[in-house]
Amino acid sequence: MTSLSRTRRGAELPAKTELPSRHVTLGPHRAPHRSFYYAMGLGPEEIAKPFVGVVSCWNEAAPCNIALDRQAAAVKEGVAESGGLPREFCTISVTDSLAMGHEGMRSSLVSREVIADSVELFIRGHSYDALVCVGSCDKSLPGMMMAMLRLNVPSIFLYGGSILPGRFRGRDVTVQDVFEAVGAHQAGTMSDEELHELECVACPSAGTCGGQYTANTMACVSEAIGLAMPGSTSAPAVYSNRDRIARNCGNAVMDLLASGLRPRQIVTREALENAARVVAASGGSTNAALHLPAIANEVGIEFTLADIGAIFASTPYLTSLKPGGKYVAKDLYDVGGVPVIMRALLDAGLLHGDCMTVSGRTIAQNLEGVTIPPNQDVVRPVTETMKTGGLVVLSGNLAPEGAIMKVAGLTHADFRGPARCFDSEEAAFEAVKQHAYQKGDVLVIRYEGPRGGPGMREMLSTTAALAGQGDDEGVALITDGRFSGATRGMSIGHISPEAATGGPIALVRDGDMIAIDAALGRIDVEIDAEELARREKEWKPRVTRYGSGALWRFAQIASSAASGAITHPGAAGEVFDYSSL
Ligand code: FES
């Protein structure tokens, strides 16, 4: 083997003849292909190097994505200085805060699959050798990590960073405060002027939503699972040190190419457990319980809602991050970022320290020298009296396959009340807007699951309106849809099986008593099995009005939320993976 060059840190890179990019660069029959590279200003020396895809979801749709081009450029510098040829491309992202509360939200979860598929197809189609994914808005994180595992070429994930907090009348605010202000405005406790003042100051910079919502939760996952460089996620999007972090990722992916360490060697069952621990410890988004099974599927590991629930049940809630706590993402960065949460868990024996990461070192090695700063309460060390379960997985006759509930920030974790059923989010939001519900009701929003929605919409507009009206714990909201990471209150999502496939949630009627008990992990409708069976016989599937396109396709093939709403067999169905071509 002839080595072409070495990385910046001195590691020997593999010869071109061993890399996928040989298929587009070597031999007389590839002259047409080479002519295309020359047409882009490249020369023979450059196309002899390993090809590294640098994908971001940069776009002008939202602040979440707007800073990614600069970081992708810095990644490319790092790749080039370590002997690679970086090739940049973009994929889509759907911005949940903009899609929220209307038809657009049906596109959100579906976009996760499109992001994974588009990155996969781009890399396959052009025979690249390695990959750096620069993600930000919610579904771009799991979508890109899924693609990294599916392709199994040396890869690194880089999070684009969170927004700076807004400042409103002496307190830090995020977009969550604006969603909740809509409820307060409807309830008449906030004026037009106050609402306008808040909306103008809540989001002062580029970056993702500023609490421990879905993007920041999945960013924590990217470090905990080993696919992101240690300490790379928490710096705010607009901080200049992101250039250095990004360039370092470019260097590091070349080291991975030299060492041969691949994503599927990193994401093991233990790594998935580490990720679930960090989600629970940080009071993270319930969406993680949807994305972790989907990520696991790409490695051929069955890691279901029940598996995640077992991890959640034994994980203390260490942080005080919004929406359940006081602090925003920048505050976590100021005390040391995600490594501090991981340090606390490792010290308590709650992380698998020997899991490998893209740094080429184990989790425990990465955390050497990391300490939990004193005199702060953003992240606390584990103590014996600490409560477990920022998140709880429930099951019962209403959710035989499971459901998820965030208890972080709740004053009580049980609820019993009569059902008020709505067959769409719009119907429920209208009732909440009119305050057409009683304290003690259980609002049931159904036919919003992966297939039924289709697209498993988030119910933030409705939960935020309840919070804004001061009723976030006075009523419960249960759904086969899902919740934004910014949701707070007595909210239970992912009820599986979903209504569209005849799950028990479809059989509930107004007035049925529903009992929720997070301590027992139960969610039940208090009707007997005979009555449920009788109703099941009468139930008829609803006709969808989505008869074509991406939503139709997703509605045909998406699995239950309990297994991640996945759309393909994953590594279990593979005969060979891309990286062995
Ligand atoms: Fe993009 Fe929240 S909408 S991260």
d(CA 201, CA 293): 37
Q: What is the pLDDT of residues 71-110, one digit of tens each?
A: 999 999 999 999 999 999 999 999 999 998 889 999 999 9
Is the CB of 342 within 6 Å of ligand 1? no
Alpha carbon of 462 to ligand 1 centroid (Å): 18
Under 8 Å between Cβ of 284 and 390: yes
d(CA 560, CA 566): 8
Is the CB of 393 within 6 Å of ligand 1? no
Neighbours of 259 (CB within 10 A): 13
Under 8 Å between Cβ of 341 and 347: no
Q: Which pairing describes strands 491-496 and 399-406: parallel, antiparallel, or unpaired?
A: antiparallel
* Selected catalytic residue, list 82, 111, 282, 484: 484
Is the CB of 97 within 6 Å of ligand 1? yes
Rg of the Cα atoms in the chain: 24
Q: What is the pLDDT of residue 186?
A: 84
SS (H, E, C) 245-277: HHHHHHHHHHHHHHHCCCHHHHCCHHHHHHHHH
Beta bridge partners of 458: 482
Residue 467, both tokens: 């919070």
Alpha carbon of 95 to ligand 1 centroid (Å): 6
Alpha carbon of 574 to ligand 1 centroid (Å): 33
Alpha carbon of 208 to ligand 1 centroid (Å): 5
Q: What is the pLDDT of residues 357-383, one digit of tens each?
A: 999 999 999 999 999 999 999 999 998
Residue whose CB lies within 8 A of the most ligand 1 atoms, among 96, 203, 460, 483, for a mutation test: 96
Under 8 Å between Cβ of 227 and 299: no
Nearest CA to ligand 1 atom 1: 137
Helix (H, G, I), strand (E, B) or coil at 541: coil
Is the CB of 209 within 6 Å of ligand 1? yes
pLDDT < 50: residue spans in the chain = 1-3
Q: Which pairing describes strands 51-56 and 130-135: parallel, antiparallel, or unpaired?
A: parallel
Ligand 1 atom closest to the CA of 97, numbered from 1: 3
Q: What is the pLDDT of residue 409?
A: 76
Beta bridge partners of 418: 513
Residue 559 designated active-site: no
d(CA 87, CA 152): 18
d(CA 544, CA 201): 40
- Per-position DSSP letters for 333-380, written without gaps between them: HHTT-HHHHHHHHHHTT-S-TT-B-TTSSBHHHHTTT----SS--SB-
Q: Among 167, 103, 112, which residue's Cα sits nearest to residue 137?
A: 112
Alpha carbon of 116 to ligand 1 centroid (Å): 18
Nearest CA to ligand 1 atom 2: 209
Q: How much is the pTM?
A: 0.95
Q: What is the pLDDT of residue 389?
A: 63
Residue whose CB lies within 8 A of the most ligand 1 atoms, among 162, 209, 461, for a mutation test: 209
Q: Among 468, 525, 380, 456, which residue's Cα sits nearest to residue 105?
A: 456
Residue 537, both tokens: 């016989």
Q: Which parts of 48-191 fold into alpha helices (H)?
A: 68-81, 96-99, 106-126, 140-151, 175-186
Is the CB of 176 within 6 Å of ligand 1? no
SS (H, E, C) 148-185: HHHHCCCEEEEECCECCCEEECCEEECHHHHHHHHHHH
Is the CB of 114 within 6 Å of ligand 1? no
Helix (H, G, I), strand (E, B) or coil at 319: strand
Is the CB of 64 within 6 Å of ligand 1? yes
d(CA 96, CA 99): 5
Category of 87 on φ-ψ map: left (φ > 0), alpha (ψ -120 to 50) or beta: beta
Residue whose CB lies within 8 A of the most ligand 1 atoms, among 97, 109, 115, 328, for a mutation test: 97
DSSP 321: B
Alpha carbon of 237 to ligand 1 centroid (Å): 13
Could you give phi then psi for residue 32, rounded to 5 degrees?
Answer: -60, -40
Is the CB of 62 within 6 Å of ligand 1? yes
Under 8 Å between Cβ of 262 and 150: no
Q: How many CA atoms lie within 13 A of 38 on its CB side?
A: 8
Neighbours of 114 (CB within 10 A): 18
Under 8 Å between Cβ of 281 and 317: yes
Under 8 Å between Cβ of 458 and 106: no
Is the CB of 215 within 6 Å of ligand 1? yes
Burial class (CB in 10 A: 0-12, 13-18, 19+), 44: exposed
Ligand 1 atom closest to the CA of 484, numbered from 1: 2
Is the CB of 458 within 6 Å of ligand 1? no
CA distances from 463 to 138, 185, 333, 557 (A): 19, 14, 28, 29
